[in-house]
Structure 1
Amino acid sequence: MTLTQLRYVAKVAECGSITEAARQLYISQPSLSSAVRELEAELGIVIFNRSARGISLTPDGSEFLSYARQILEQTELVEQRYAHARPSKRLFAISSQHYAFVVNAFVRLLESVEADEYEMTLRESRTYEIIEDVAGYRSELGVLYLSSFNEKVLRKLMRENHLSYTPLFDARPHVFVSTSHPLAGAESVTLAQLDAYPYLCYEQGTHNSLYFSEELLPFESHRKTIVLTDRATLFNLLRGVNGYTISSGVLNSDLNGDDIASVPLETDETMQLGYLTNDRARLSPMAARYLEELRSLVASEGYDVLG
């Protein structure tokens, strides 16, 4: 087993593709595949599941990668200390449901970074893919919400994937609407009052169970529904078709503009926002700094920070 093989495995896991990893490593795909297979044969485990859809880490592969990353991190420290090597890029990746406060904290992190080079990734993603990203080491953190409806199912998935969930804050559900919407100035609204307007929600792909819905109260029926994949389009349609969506109520005018209103929704349901970490990996200093920014932002919005 060599450091080169460990670097190869880490890059393949990061890219989720042998072809892309080979391109970034500047080696041929057959050479990379051969190196990984030789390592698997030496260790007596299968690190990657291979299929027509791509590759993914096996349970043994996930455990091995956690150890490999620790070795690579320590190697970089030794090289920087004694070989006067150029410091490595600051790396950080997070996957999240579509929340403005997550993006705002990401912006704050970037503003605080004092480095000549860095590579940061923010993935606004589907619920199931967030869990996959953190379990597969593509992201260090994953932000999503739990409710009385989805908690049992999502926590089971977390346990199966060796993930921990840390609560950030509890929120009462709100609806986002355009400031020109007839209900924008209401003290609160009911779903019955909203029934005539288009309901906007995020598409969840093949894992489209109600338990993976990004919006609270997924079991409620709506006369008009528009399914979307990105936050910019959703906010444009809030303005364009007098639509509405259900969320935590945390808005940011710098990111969303001044023409979106947040109105409390009358319901007994609550949602808890929190973040996922991988039990088999240590958080990087950059991830820890991001969490500091996230907690600070949540507190500045008037919420009690839970963890």
Structure 2
Amino acid sequence: MNLTYLKYALEVEKTGSITKAAQHLFMGQPNLSKAIKELEESIGITLFERTSKGVLVTQEGKTFLSQAHHIIEQIDRMEAQYRPVTKPKLYFNISVPRASYITYAFTRFVNSLEEGEGLEINFKETNSIEAVRNILECHYQLGIMRYPLEYEKYFMHLIEDKAFEMQKIWEFEDVLLMSKEHPLARKESIVREDLIPYIELIHGDLMVPNVSEELKKKKEKDFVKKHILVYERGSQFDLLRQVPTTYMHVSPVPENLLEHYQLVQRRCEDLVQKNKDVLIYSKHHRLTTIEERFIKELIKVQQEMKHIYKYI
């Protein structure tokens, strides 16, 4: 059996598409199709059913490819065991929401790495749908999805449909983030009417099919008249600090960042949205030591903040 063909088949399974798999493998689609056909003929079963939307793994194919995963992993471990001793290079790829507590955990995680370790990290702040796409199509191993709790059913269906493992990170109520110079910064109790004169900052790419339209309609019924769309946290913090009439709904922010940017976080008594952050990864992926270290640091930061912000 050709081990290269096994790896080809696993890539097709991962992407759900001959075309995408060929792109990831840097080979022509006809050559990949031919290799898959030869593999199927050699083992005597059909691995994939071709459809107009891509390929589907057959029942027999699921069993075979599950065993193939274990074979490739065993070979990788064997090669690593007998490879000349060198300092291993650490790979870590994750997509996350634009959340300060996650970035704070990430910086602590990076600082914990040993000096001299080979390192290649992709840490991408993006939306939940892109986090899913990065795992399916862009060789990212991990993602963190954020969603409003009221739409949990939609996201649980998405996770099940993509055959992901899931781990809850944090269920929280959002807070208002604003400058210490904001007119509402010293107000003891904030309600939605208090926010009417001010500018809301919103991450502009948080669009989710079927859900976004409902959120948009809900927002139109609300009071917000002024808003600015931002796409990265650098602009977010610059605007909050330098335009004291802006505010933003965010997950709770670590104290050191509040102090650094001269910001405060407040609770809006009658405008609270419950959200959940969940870790996702393919069911075929085994968490590496470095990934487990990051998750442990993330949970640690979350617990520290949960203790500090007792109203959350």
TM-score by length of 1: 0.76
Which residue matches 1:26?
none
Q: What CA RMSD, in Å, does the superposition of the two structures yield over aligned residues?
A: 3.8
Unaligned runs of 5+ in 2: 41-45
Residue 160 of structure 1: aligned partner:
161
The question of whether the paired residues in 2 share the 8 Å contact of 1:10 and 1:65 is answered with yes
How far apart are the structure 1 equivalents of 2:75 and 2:240?
50
Per-residue CA deviations over 1:112-159 (Å, capped at 9, x if unaligned) read 223531211111111211222334573333223343422121111111
Contact in 2 for aligned 1:190/1:265 (Cα 8 Å): yes
Shift of residue 85, structure 1, vs aligned partner:
6.0
By how many angstroms is 1:77 displaced? 2.0
Structure 1 residues 70, 286: CA separation in 2 closer, same or farther (over 3 Å shift)? farther
TM-score when normalising by structure 2 = 0.75
Match of 1:253 among 252, 256, 260: 256
- Cα deviation for residue 279 of structure 1 reads 2.4
Q: 1:184 aligns to what SS in structure 2? A: coil
The residue identity in structure 1 corresponding to 2:98 is H
Distance, in Å, in 2 between the alignment partners of 1:202 and 1:178 is 18
Post-superposition offset of 1:70:
4.5
Contact 1:131 1:142 in 2 (8 A): yes
- Rounded Cα–Cα distance in structure 1 between residues aligned with 2:295 and 2:274: 23
Q: Larger Rg: 1 or 2?
A: 2
Question: Which 5+ residue runs of structure 1 have no aligned equivalent?
Answer: 23-28, 52-56
Deviation at 1:168, TM superposition (A): 2.3
Per-residue CA deviation, residues 205-254 of structure 1 (Å, 9 max, x unaligned), is 76465449999x75745201212221111222222332111112223535
Counterpart check, 1:296 vs 2:297: no
Cα distance 1:104–1:65, how it changes in 2: closer, same or farther (>3 A)?
farther
Residues 110, 7 of structure 1: CA spacing in aligned structure 2 closer, same or farther, 3 A cutoff? farther
**C-alpha distance in structure 2 between counterparts of 1:291 and 1:214, whole Å:** 30
- In the TM superposition, what is the alpha-carbon distance from 1:2 to its structure 2 partner? 3.7
> Within 5 Å, which residues of 2 pair with 1:61-80?
70-80=70-80
**Would the alpha carbon gap of residues 185 and 8 (structure 1) be closer, same or farther in structure 2, given more than 3 Å must change?**
farther
Distance in 1 between residues matched to 2:5 and 2:275, nearest whole Å:
44
Instruction: Give 3-state SS (helix, strand or coil) of 2:306's partner.
Output: coil
Say whether the 8 Å CA contact 1:177–1:243 is kept in structure 2.
yes
Equivalent residue, structure 1, for 2:228: 226
The equivalent residue for 1:138 is: 139
Q: Partner of 2:121 in structure 1? A: 120
Answer yes or no: is the 8 Å Cα contact 2:87–2:117 preserved in 1.
no
Give the paired residue count: 289
The 3-state SS of whatever aligns with 2:285 is: coil
Please give the alpha-carbon distance, in whole angstroms, between the structure 2 residues aligned to 1:289 and 1:79. 24
Contact in 2 for aligned 1:40/1:47 (Cα 8 Å): no
Deviation at 1:177, TM superposition (A): 0.9
CA contact (8 A) 1:101 1:252 kept: no
Percent identical residues: 21
More helix by share: 2
Per-residue CA deviations over 1:278-305 (Å, capped at 9, x if unaligned) read 223221222111111111111222349x
Counterpart pick for 2:32 among 30, 36, 41:
36
Paired residue type of 2:57: D
Counterpart of 1:281?
Answer: 285
